[in-house]
Amino acid sequence: MDNIGVIISLILILGGLVTLLIRSLQAREVDRRIIFLFIFLAVAAPILFPMTFKEKATQVVKSVFDKIENLPEGSTVLLSFDFDPAMAPEVQPMANAISRHCFEKGHKIIFMSLWATGQALLSHSLSEFILPGFPEKENLVDYVSIGYKAGNEGVLNVIITDIQKMFPTDVNSVPLDSIPIFDNIESCKDLDFIMSIGGGKPGPKEWVLFVGDPGDVPVGVGVAAVVAPQMYPYYPGQIVGILGGVKGAAEYESELIRVHPRFAEMDTPGLRMMGPQTLAHVVIMAFIVIGNVVFFRGRRREKKE
């Protein structure tokens, strides 16, 4: 049924693109809403009739995976949710996959956020996606959420030397000095790994500038696709690796399933999203090609005249 759905959708989209090409060549006006409809179809069809692909992790993603995989059991990882709903579909799958990976390896996780919206998304992620897979994990022992603080990079400037000064309590007003995870953690310099997931300011870049470089702490970044190219100058000297956009999330999920097959049973939104992503990319490339065919035809005609 799914295959038939995929074929029908592909035929519809292909037929539509050919019609678009013909109309464009005839120099007839194409309403922008037709273009919008194409994109909607290209995204909706693979969601209705899922197309699944295998992914292979690139080195920038694999370095983050290997870092978490090779940390000794009981290491402390800080995971910062520095994003809002506008980035969430891209980066939340990464955050979930990395949290699961850390739990699977027996690491302790400190969750925090530099964005107010990040704390709300973190709360949602923890209760809906992360903790249901790990019912044995105990709050304050295996993980803790210290939440959000206002002040952007100002927050980082304090926690690089003293976490408790900036975060006297966790989100539920439990003093940090009574939380077992913080027994040997005074500042960010005592952490084994930091993963910042975001895409705006403050976000991964600020973690590199204010914590990673001055504190010599390994920092990995998971970023929205728009920001991903801007993070490459920091790799590999200043950051461990980069998860860029939904593709980065899909690669991480595929690596997680490859090494820990039990995660195949869990939801993998990154991998699931690659179907619609692929078709939409093809349609956008087709738009560029059609636009250019019409442009060059027009230019040649102008030259002749």
Partner 1 sequence: MKRQIPLFITFFVGTLLIFSVFIPPMETLGENFTLFFDIIAVFAFFLGAGNLVRVHVSKLRKRKADWGFSIVTLIGFGFMLFVGLLKIGNPGGIAADVTAPGSWFQEMFNYVINPLQSTMYALLAFFVASASYRAFRAKNREATILLMAAFVILLGRTPLGMMLTAWIPDSLSIFQIPNMAVWIMNSFNLAGQRAILIGISLGVVAMSLRLILGVERTYLGGDDSG
Partner 2 sequence: MKKTTYLLMAVISALFVLSWILKAGSLSGETDNYVIQGFLITFSAFLTLSVLSFLYADNPLYKFAEHLFVGVSAAFWMCMGFWTTIVQNLIPRLSDGLSSFFEVPPQPGDYNFFFFIPVILGILLLMRLSPKGGWISRWPLAFIIGTTAGLNFVRYLRSDFIKQISNTFVPLLGTEWQGIGHFFSNLDLSASGQLVTMAANWVIFLGVFCGLIYFYFSKEHKGAFGAASKVGIWVLMLTFGASFGYTVMGRISLLVGRITFLFRDWLEIIS
Q: In the complex, which residues of this chain contact partner 1 (CB under 8 A)?
A: 30, 32, 35-36, 38-40, 43, 53-56, 58-60, 84-89, 117, 119-120, 122-124, 127, 145, 147, 149-152, 154-155, 157-158, 161-162, 165-166, 171-173, 214, 229-230, 232-233, 235, 245, 247, 274, 277-278, 280-285, 287-288, 290-292, 295
Between 193 and 210, whose beta carbon lies closer to partner 2? 210
Q: Is 24 in the site for partner 2 (CB under 8 A)?
A: no
Q: How far is the CB of 210 from partner 2 (least distance, A)?
A: 6
Between 171 and 266, whose beta carbon lies closer to partner 1? 171
> Which one of partner 1, partner 2, none is in contact with 53 (Cβ closer than 5 to 8 A by kind)?
partner 1
> Of the candidates 3, 28, 29, 150, which one interacts with partner 2 according to CB under 8 A?
150
In three-state form (DSSP H/G/I as H, E/B as E, the rest C), the secondary structure along the chain is CHHHHHHHHHHHHHHHHHHHHHHHHCCCCCCHHHHHHHHHHHHHHHHHCCCCCCCCCCHHHHHHHHHHHHCCCCCEEEEEEECCCCCHHHHHHHHHHHHHHHHHCCCEEEEEECCHHHHHHHHHHHHHHHHHHCCCCCECCCEEEEEECCCCHHHHHHHCCCHHHHCCECCCCCEHHHCHHHHHCCCHHHCCEEEEEECCCCCHHHHHHHHHHHHCCCEEEEECCCCHHHHHHHCCCCCCCEEEHHHHHHHHHHHHHHHCHHHHHCCCHHHHHHHHHHHHHHHHHHHHHHHHHHHHHHHHHHHHC
Sign of CA dihedral 247, 252, 255, 260: negative
> Which one of partner 2, partner 1, none is in contact with 237 (Cβ closer than 5 to 8 A by kind)?
partner 2
Q: How far is the CB of 75 from partner 1 (least distance, A)?
A: 25
Q: How far is the CB of 50 from partner 2 (least distance, A)?
A: 8
d(CA 97, CA 93): 6
d(CA 194, CA 16): 47
Q: Is 38 in the site for partner 2 (CB under 8 A)?
A: no
> Of the candidates 21, 131, 209, 266, which one interacts with partner 2 according to CB under 8 A?
209
Residue 211 · residue 188 · CB < 8 Å: yes
Residues in 166-185 that interact with partner 2 by CB under 8 A = 166-169, 173-175
Q: Which region among 10-18, 71-79, 252-260, 271-279 touches partner 2 (by CB under 8 A)?
A: 271-279
Q: Is 53 in the site for partner 2 (CB under 8 A)?
A: no
Between 134 and 287, whose beta carbon lies closer to partner 2? 287
> Of the candidates 20, 228, 242, 271, which one interacts with partner 2 according to CB under 8 A?
228
Q: Side-chain half-sphere of 1: how many Cα atoms within 13 Å?
A: 2
Which residues contact partner 2 by CB under 8 A?
Answer: 33, 36, 39-40, 43-44, 47-48, 50, 56-59, 62, 86, 88-90, 116-117, 119-120, 147-151, 153-154, 157, 166-169, 173-175, 208-210, 213-214, 224-226, 228-230, 233-234, 236-238, 244-247, 273, 276-277, 280-281, 284
